[in-house]
Amino acid sequence: MKQMDSGVFEIQNPYNGRISRISATPDNVTGIVFWSKDFGPFIRGKYGDRLIQKGYHLFFNFTINSTDLLLEPNVPPLSERLEQLAYLSRRFDKRCIHWRFDPICFYRFHGQAMRHNLHDFLLIADAVAACGIRTCITSFMDHYPKIQKRVRSINGFSFLDPPDDQKIDILMKMETILQSRHIRLLTCCEPELMDLLPLHSQIGKSSCISGHLLIEISGERLTIKKDRGQRIQKGCGCQTSVDIGSYTRHPCYHNCLFCYANPKMRPQ
């Protein structure tokens, strides 16, 4: 917020260390897209009200997964996250709120049968529908080497990657649950699975940063070029944007076991 008030962000390239100055004034920024698993500080600080008063359009990607302390040890309780979602849906345009159930994970612990993190999906879907939110974005966990290296330190634990036919079956069951609640299911960077879906499926490809939606909401003319810095070949449909996030300035303490982004995971 200090940088928003000053009208400029200084962004350091994580690869070459170069500093870029990014204008953050309302005449240069149409929308601000937030990703989070915990909007508590945002809500308590009433930052959304301040940003709207300044003339910005806000968009929220709210990741709400099932409670699983092994996978996501430091996120708020599910009931608290759902209360945050209800607040956002009352205060801001519901079209600007996407629920992300992401990623879907499969794992085995101490030789038990394969487990997954879908056990609260129906409960969350009911709460999302009650808020009037109509979009759910999902994907299956990517098995990056850094994740595999991390879990080797956990005795008896391993992530699993089930076959595509099992993933398709899960997506179809999720779609059935969501259709009856008037929520559309979209996938994030799953082109191979999209090609395997049955013809009657209405599951679509997501744009977590949608220039088309921002145009619809703001009434302004914006670029709808795809963001070349994202995984276009993997099906990313996001339009161009500037990432102002920084794990150095704003550390993440959620310690999600499947995280591929946080460069410095904290000890459990």
Is residue 257, in this structure, part of any structural domain at all? no
Calculate mean pLDDT across residues 127-156.
Answer: 93
* Mean residue pLDDT across the chain: 88
Q: Does residue 123 sit in helix, strand or coil?
A: helix
> Total domain count for the chain?
1
Is residue 246, in this structure, part of any structural domain at all? no
Q: What is the pLDDT of residue 216?
A: 74
* CATH assignment at residue 229: 3.30.750.200
4-47 tens-digit pLDDT:
889 998 887 767 888 889 898 888 887 888 999 999 999 999 99
Spatial CB neighbours of 163, under 8 Å, sequence gap ≥ 6: none
Is residue 39, in this structure, part of any structural domain at all? yes
* Closest listed residue to residue 135, CA positions, set 71, 60, 72: 60
Split at pLDDT 50, 70, 90, the class of 247 is: confident
pTM, two decimal places: 0.89
Is residue 211, in this structure, part of any structural domain at all? yes
Q: What is the pLDDT of residue 156?
A: 92
85-139 tens-digit pLDDT:
999 999 999 999 999 999 999 999 988 889 999 999 999 999 999 999 999 999 9
Q: What is the pLDDT of residue 234?
A: 59
Is residue 99, in this structure, part of any structural domain at all? yes
112-120, long-range: CB within 8 Å, 24+ apart, which pairs? 114/160, 114/162, 117/65, 117/66, 117/68, 117/71, 118/66, 118/170, 118/174, 119/66, 120/65, 120/66, 120/67, 120/78
Side chain identity at residue 55, one-letter code: G
Task: Please say if the pLDDT value at position 147 is more than 70.
Answer: yes
Is residue 160, in this structure, part of any structural domain at all? yes
Query: Count of residues for the chain?
Result: 268
| Domain span holding position 149 | 2-234
- Count CB-CB contacts under 10 A for residue 192: 10
Q: Which two tokens stand for residue 3?
A: 């940088």
Spatial CB neighbours of 148, under 8 Å, sequence gap ≥ 6: 159
Is residue 256, in this structure, part of any structural domain at all? no
Q: What is the pLDDT of residue 267?
A: 46
Q: Which two tokens stand for residue 52?
A: 């709207």
Rounded-to-integer distance, Cα 245 and Cα 68, Å:
26
Q: Which two tokens stand for residue 144?
A: 């990056």
Is residue 201, in this structure, part of any structural domain at all? yes
